[in-house]
Structure 1
Amino acid sequence: MFMYLIKANHNVKRELDELKTHYEMLQIELQQTQSLKVIESNHVNVTRIPRLYKKERIHNRQKNYQTQQDSIKVFSSCTKNGVIAITIDDGPGVSTSRILDVFKKYNSKATFFFVGVNFEKYGNIIKPAFDEGHLIASHTWSHIDFSESTDDKIKEEIGKNNNGFRNLIRAVPRYIRPPYGTFTHNAGRILKEMGFEAAVRWDYDTRDWDTNQSSNVVSSFQRIFDSKPENSSFLVLMHDMEHSAHALSLIVPKLVEKGYKLVRVDECLGIPESRAY
């Protein structure tokens, strides 16, 4: 009887967890609908894909994905204390130059996960970012979902993006952020075969995709820092949007003033800079 009650309790808990997940997905769906105009007005090409940010929030729950020996490693947080790695997804775009200006002014570094579909229109900004010492990384050519793509499609997307980088900066990035945060063993195996060092997720989402107000992004930053002990580290997700660029112009000086070091992803992971490309 006792074992039966334990099993019944386990089943109830599982059903409640499933209901909670379903509720969260519905909430995100509502947020996605409300903010779709914001997303489309601030992004170029790839970021107009429907359900983009909803999928990123859902799939980043795979944080504890256990990589196998024939796969690259997947990181969701920094391994060093007291550093902040701000990552910018979905560029290059109209706001990339402004973002670079902010980091240059405060002698700080960031990581840019670029999508190839934007190279033709905004590719000329990638070389300055590279020359200024920021980490240039891949986000695939057209923001495909690894979990819904064949091996050949993954290879095509990565190869095409690699060729774009090779033409623009004469180097091929070895870090990648899986679009939507999804990751599979097959993708990890392919990426390792293609010479990648690591796949990078995040442990702090600014939710800049869910607003068009820079003040909301700044407030989001403030809440997370207020809730964490001093000398914590953060691997931050942001996007190439105008209001995000403005938010960074307010956030970065405050972080520097507090003594935080804003670094590239490879430094926050403790991986030598020589393995970036």
Structure 2
Amino acid sequence: MKKTLGSIFILLTLSSQALVRVTAQSTSDAGDIIVPKNTKWLAEVDVTKVPKTPVRPVGSGTCPDAKCDGSDNDKCFESCGNKALPSDIYGCPSAQEWALSFDDGPSNFTGQLLDSLDQYNIKATFCVMGSNVKKYPEMVKRAFDAGHHIASHTFSHPHLMSLTNEEIIYEMKATEEAIRDVIGIRPTYVRPPFGEADDRVKALMKAMGYKILLWNVDPTDYDVHSLPNAADKIQGAFKAAANGIDTGLNSHDEPGYISLQHDLYKSSIEQVPDVIEFLTKKGYTFRTAAECVGDKTPHAPFVPEGRLMAQSNPSGQNKEEVSSSTPKDQSSISSIPELKDASVENDNKSTTTKVESSDTSSSSTTSAAAIITHSSVNMAILLFVLLSFIS
């Protein structure tokens, strides 16, 4: 009898562990990063004014060139000219102003970047990923405390047009919570990964209180960072823009500039001092992206007893509401998603990243499903073993 009960216990334990592992992996939205999901977040966003545009598979854009017009406007991906809205931010509206912006961090190179910015007393915009905020919280805090602008770049860097509204909300809210847990604010700017956002995505971002932040100078460090002449290519893009040369990377013309770099790449970060000195000699004044468009409040305040949520209303002003939320732990993740085939030098990686749910007061749908699943299977196993013993 004891042997049988022991067998039952072992079977139940193994089945429970296996089911938890399989269920958790099935919730991953992008590669190895598991995006936290709290169904309460869905109720916080009014999607009634979001167009019912179908989800678009990656690579489904149809624009023939960099400038879309006519019937194909809403089918294009931003990287090849998706329809721009008047509220989209591509560059600084004032000539001789330049906003440096850095995507995909923080990383183990962000400290070096902050050192350079501190040396020249320049403030920049950091479009951070929620998953990497959890890995390098001290870098986010240092950047924020130094007066830099913190914007969202989603949690896992997905192609947003390929996600449902619900999946996009999870990406944004999980990032909000990661940032909130470190610096106590909510960002109000978002840079869509790959610059891809159609009318549906943009409307959904507006419903969550976000401004779309893009760029009009791209040194393509994600392509050239590992090349022997990476320094020349990266600096060359800045020099071309400052000298009024159209590189063809962007078709949006503003008097001032917002440049795109990635603090994932050491070779790109190393060019920042030379870029700053060159642009300073050309007479440019450095601003954050928010400052160059005249926004003096780029972050929403956080109310200690809850999370401050902004929603767009018909008047165009942000309607602020407070919803309760329990801060989650500061556990870090163990991998950095990378664009294309880029690698992060000298950084430890793991093949699977696990991020705990952001609301400890209520179980996520994944956890609930896992509990229900192995409760039912455990019962079936128990009955099977008992019947076998009796027979």
Structure 1 length as normaliser, TM-score? 0.72
The aligned counterpart of 1:115 is: 129
Mapping of 1:225-264 within 5 angstroms?
A: 225-227=242-244, 232-240=255-263, 241-264=265-288
Give the distance between the partners of 1:275 and 1:246, measured in 2 at CA. Answer: 27
Contact 1:115-1:142 within 8 A present in 2 as well: yes
What amino acid maps onto 2:237 in structure 1?
S
- The corresponding residue for 1:27 is none
Residue 189 (structure 1) shift: 2.5
In 1, Cα distance between the equivalents of 2:240 and 2:91?
A: 18
The one of 80, 96, 100 equivalent to 1:86 is 100
1:204 maps to what in 2?
Answer: 217
- Tell me the CA shift for residue 123 of structure 1: 2.0
The reply on whether 1:222 has 2:246 as its aligned counterpart is no
Cα distance 1:64–1:81, how it changes in 2: closer, same or farther (>3 A)?
A: farther
Tell me, in whole angstroms, the C-alpha distance in 1 between the residues paired with 2:85 and 2:281.
Answer: 37
The DSSP-based 3-state class of the residue aligned with 1:237 is strand
| Cα offsets for 1:204-224 (capped at 9, x unmatched) | 101111212223211222222
How far off its partner does 1:232 sit? Answer: 4.5
* Structure 2 residue matching 1:259: 3-state secondary structure: coil
What are the ranges of 5 or more consecutive residues in structure 1 without an aligned counterpart? 1-16, 22-56, 68-72
Decide whether the 8 Å contact of 1:108 with 1:261 is kept in 2.
Answer: no
By how many angstroms is 1:127 displaced? 0.6
1:267 aligns with 2:284: no
SS at match of 1:144: coil
When residues 58 and 182 of structure 1 are mapped into structure 2, their CA distance, relative to the original with a 3 A threshold, is closer
Cα offsets for 1:237-266 (capped at 9, x unmatched): 111110111111211122223321111001
Cα 1:259–1:66 change in 2 (3 A) is closer
Q: How many aligned positions are there? A: 217
* Aligned 8 A contact 2:188 2:298 in 1: yes
SS in 1 for 2:175: helix
Q: Which residue is 1:187 aligned to?
A: 201
Letter in 2 for 1:274: T
Aligned to 1:154: 168
Q: Secondary structure at the match of 1:172?
A: strand
CA contact (8 A) 1:102 1:252 kept: no
Deviation at 1:77, TM superposition (A): 1.9
Rg (Cα) greater in structure: 2
Q: CA deviation at 1:87?
A: 0.8
Which has the higher mean CA deviation after the structures are superposed, 214-223 or 153-162? Answer: 214-223
Q: CA deviation at 1:149?
A: 0.6
Paired amino acid for 1:222 = K
CA distance in 2, matches of 1:260, 1:59: 27
Q: 1:109, 1:173 → 2: CA distance?
A: 16
Looking at structure 1, the residues matched to 83 and 202 of structure 2 have their Cα atoms a distance apart, in angstroms, of 14
Q: Is the CA contact (8 Å cut-off) linking 1:113 and 1:176 kept in structure 2?
A: yes
Q: Deviations over 1:28-84 (max 9, x none)?
A: xxxxxxxxxxxxxxxxxxxxxxxxxxxxx96333364236xxxxx322222122100
Matched position secondary structure for 1:81 = coil
Deviation at 1:275, TM superposition (A): 4.0
Amino acid of the structure 2 residue aligned with 1:118:
N
Q: Is contact 1:116-1:161 (8 Å) kept?
A: yes
Give the superposition deviation at 1:228.
Answer: 5.3
Which stretch has the larger CA shift, 149-158 or 99-108? 99-108
Paired residue secondary structure (1:203): coil
Instruction: Specify the alignment match of 2:155 in structure 1.
Output: 141
Would you say the 8 A contact 2:130–2:175 is kept in 1?
yes
Does the Cα contact within 8 Å between 2:221 and 2:261 map onto a contact in 1? Answer: yes
Residue type at the aligned position of 2:266: E
**2: CA distance, partners of 1:58 / 1:65:** 11
Larger helix proportion of the pair:
1
Contact 2:234/2:271 (<8 A) preserved: yes
- Letter in structure 1 aligned against 2:279: L
Deviation at 1:86, TM superposition (A): 1.0
Amino acid paired to 2:151: A
Q: Which residue of 1 aligns with 2:139?
A: 125
RMSD across aligned positions (CA): 2.3
The higher relative CO (CA closer than 8 Å, separation ≥ 6) is in 1
